Chains A and B, each alone.
Chain A
Amino acid sequence: MSTVLTDRRGRTAPAPGTTPGNAAAPPRRTAWTPTLILLLGAVYCLIPILWVVMAATKSSNELFTTFTFAPGSGLLHNLADLSHYRDGVYWQWMANSALYAGVGALLSAALSGVTGYALAKYRFRGRTALFNILLAGVLMPPITLAVPQYLLMAKAGLADSYWSVLLPSIVSPYGIYLARIYAAAAIPDEVVEAARVDGAREWRLFRSVALPMMVPGLVTVFLFQFVAIWNNFLLPYIMLGDDHKFPVTVGLYSLLQQGANAPALYTLVITGALLSIVPLIALFLGLQRYWRIDLLSGAVKS
């Protein structure tokens, strides 16, 4: 099991070959150069996040006058302003994002699981063709799909509804692809055969034998989809007109566009941006153990 963000190396670091044949423990000198370069990279990645934390504490007139990394005095005021903006529509956006990403990712993981299992564990006519068609779906530029999707949704009377954002995000070719790799790796054929010999029906076999084995991989699919849907902008931006249904990405964008004419809104945009990344970073740090990115690395073996 290689987890990604916790450092449990499966092997011991080889002794530095300074004195070959020396049986004594190698000296534990720190490799300073790589350490420092990586820390520089970390600082570069953290700067915008630190900036938004600081900027969210500034009042509108501090924003453009005080040094950027100096904290301001307006955090509570900004939070209150944001909560009062159009009767608290910001919190509605956050709730919408949670709904779209939570429900969408859950359905997506379930669908990816059953589809990936069938593609990995059965031999049937049309399997390769089907898989290739699904993969082509990954390559479709989202807007190519979103424009006709919107027109079709409008014809069905579903445009500007929660469904118009939820439904298209359930099928994730990428999630199916990951689930297939995981099913192939995690479910031994012997186990499936043994259950069949015991007379298990195909659905029961999937439910009680295969699915439990696939759970860790499906959690990864869920996380990927959750981040993808939470971060998605284009689809909800095209589908929705009523700002009470906006997810937080589209909501912030609409705030920013108004801010171009009313700089007072900038502090709201910044405070909103900060709050919008808190749940994702929490999800990220809390569920580090479940990010199985090794699925991706082993993916190009033909």
Chain B
Amino acid sequence: MASHQPSPTRRLAPYAFLSPAVALFALFFALPIGYAIYLSFRAVHVKGLGLGAHARTEVWAGLSNYTSALADPELLAGSGRTLLYGALLVPTMLGAALFFALLLDTPRLRLGAFSRLAIFLPYAVPGIVASLLWGFLYLPTVSPGYFLLDKAGIGGPDLLHGNGLFVALANIAVWGGTGFNMIVIYTSLRAIPAELYEAARLDGASELQVALRIKIPMVAPSLVLTFFFSMIATLQVFSEPMTLKPLTNSMSSTWSPLMKVYRDAFVQGDIYSAAATSVVVATATLVLSFGFLKLVNKRSEGGS
């Protein structure tokens, strides 16, 4: 950095550069969040039959939207479902991503570039389209899997009802997300200096030992990053269950907390309780995210 006193233009320049982003952020992030918080404390008061010009008035509602949101068994059930889905999805996806990344990094591999590209390709497919494709593959009448099982005389699992839905949804997300996370981990694997394992290999360490002892600890930061983003994406699951809904009758319209927000706001027209629920969901997301980051920072300060 320069040692001389910066000129006034130089002091003001960053603020000028940042002004468009700050303005847009204020309009499309801060203002809507503030508005949602405001709405969550309001409610509509209906006089008489709710007819006439002044029969419906917006009033201050205190915490009543929050108490009813938190007391609603559907929100709790939806959160439970989301957590179960996440518990199924995140370890599977990141485990597969790490495993594939390590395999890509082994010497004397053939067709590595093809496999890498094929596994990454689903990232380019919209969640809606991915759910649509898998949804059809889950339908026993059109799916090749069921066709083959049927020929073999085995009944296929029912993925569109009951607990099969969790597997169905998690599989769509694993399909869409594994490749992207694999590339992130693989990229950081390739940044490890080769000297680190040449010595180990000369000492007769196997590829497996090199992977477990050297490679995995070295890519820990990117594992943290991928875990963090996967966790956030899991909490926001919305379009996959929405797409599978027309294909099955056992997906409720409040399957995940965000679907409930959508239903309250746009199907039932109760924007006030939708606002309260979405503030609760957003707060939970922020608490979880920052809690996780704090935990990781503590571990890395104390650990290494």
B265: interface (CB < 8 Å)? yes
Using A2-B187, A238-B266 as known contacts, say yes or no to A118 and B14 having CB atoms under 8 A apart: yes
Using A38-B103, A171-B28 as known contacts, say yes or no to A147 and B36 having CB atoms under 8 A apart: yes
A29: interface (CB < 8 Å)? yes
Report the separation of the CA atoms of residues A48 and B239 in the bound assembly, to the nearest whole angstrom.
18
Contacts of B1 in A (CB 8 A): 123, 189
21 residue pairs from A and B, CB less than 8 Å apart: A4-B186, A5-B183, A16-B107, A37-B100, A38-B109, A114-B20, A122-B13, A133-B25, A139-B289, A144-B279, A147-B271, A227-B124, A249-B126, A249-B129, A256-B132, A269-B132, A283-B124, A288-B117, A296-B184, A300-B222, A302-B297
A31: interface (CB < 8 Å)? yes
When the two chains form their complex, are residues A51 and B36 in contact, meaning their CB atoms are under 8 A apart? no
| Cross-interface CB contact of A293 among B103, B187, B275, cutoff 8 Å | B187
A9-49 vs B, Cβ < 8 Å mask (1 yes, 0 no): 11111101100100000001111001101110111111111
Report the separation of the CA atoms of residues A61 and B21 in the bound assembly, to the nearest whole angstrom.
53
The closest CB in chain A to the CB of B246 belongs to A260
The closest CB in chain A to the CB of B17 belongs to A118
Using A141-B236, A259-B246 as known contacts, say yes or no to A294 and B32 having CB atoms under 8 A apart: no
Contacts of A115 in B (CB 8 A): 17-18, 20-21
Other than A35-B115, A138-B232, give 18 A-B pairs with Cβ distance below 8 A.
Answer: A2-B190, A7-B116, A41-B178, A52-B133, A68-B142, A114-B20, A115-B20, A118-B13, A119-B18, A124-B11, A140-B29, A141-B282, A144-B33, A171-B21, A196-B10, A293-B187, A297-B191, A297-B221
A182: interface (CB < 8 Å)? no
Contacts of B86 in A (CB 8 A): none
Contacts of A38 in B (CB 8 A): 100, 103-104, 109, 111-112, 115-116, 119
B173: interface (CB < 8 Å)? no
B214-243 vs A, Cβ < 8 Å mask (1 yes, 0 no): 000000011011000000100110110011
For chain A residues 116-132, which have a beta carbon within 8 Å of chain B?
117-119, 122-124, 127, 130
Using A30-B110, A140-B282 as known contacts, say yes or no to A20 and B187 having CB atoms under 8 A apart: no
Report the separation of the CA atoms of residues A285 and B130 in the bound assembly, to the nearest whole angstrom.
19
Q: Would you give the shortest CB distance from A283 to chain B, in whole angstroms?
A: 7
Q: Would you give the shortest CB distance from B190 to chain A, in whole angstroms?
A: 6
When the two chains form their complex, are residues A136 and B108 in contact, meaning their CB atoms are under 8 A apart? no
Interfacial residues, chain B to chain A (CB-CB below 8 A): 1-2, 9-11, 13-18, 20-22, 24-25, 27-29, 31-33, 35-36, 39, 96, 99-100, 103-104, 106-130, 132-134, 136-137, 141-144, 147, 175, 178-179, 183-188, 190-191, 193-194, 197-198, 201-205, 221-222, 224-225, 232, 235-236, 238-239, 242-243, 246-247, 258, 261-262, 265-266, 271, 274-275, 278-279, 281-282, 285-286, 289, 297, 300
The closest CB in chain B to the CB of A257 belongs to B246
| Cross-interface CB contact of B20 among A41, A111, A280, cutoff 8 Å | A111
The closest CB in chain A to the CB of B198 belongs to A14
State which size class the interface on A falls in: 35 or more
When the two chains form their complex, are residues B225 and A281 in contact, meaning their CB atoms are under 8 A apart? no
When the two chains form their complex, are residues B246 and A51 in contact, meaning their CB atoms are under 8 A apart? no
Contacts of A88 in B (CB 8 A): none
The closest CB in chain A to the CB of B34 belongs to A148
10 shortest interchain CB distances as A-B pairs: A42-B118, A118-B17, A297-B188, A148-B32, A38-B115, A231-B126, A122-B14, A202-B13, A68-B144, A34-B103
The closest CB in chain B to the CB of A296 belongs to B184
Report the separation of the CA atoms of residues A285 and B124 in the bound assembly, to the nearest whole angstrom.
10
* A137, A176, A233, A270 — most chain B CB neighbours (10 Å): A233
Report the separation of the CA atoms of residues A281 and B202 in the bound assembly, to the nearest whole angstrom.
42
* B179, B204, B281, B282 — most chain A CB neighbours (10 Å): B282
A86: interface (CB < 8 Å)? no
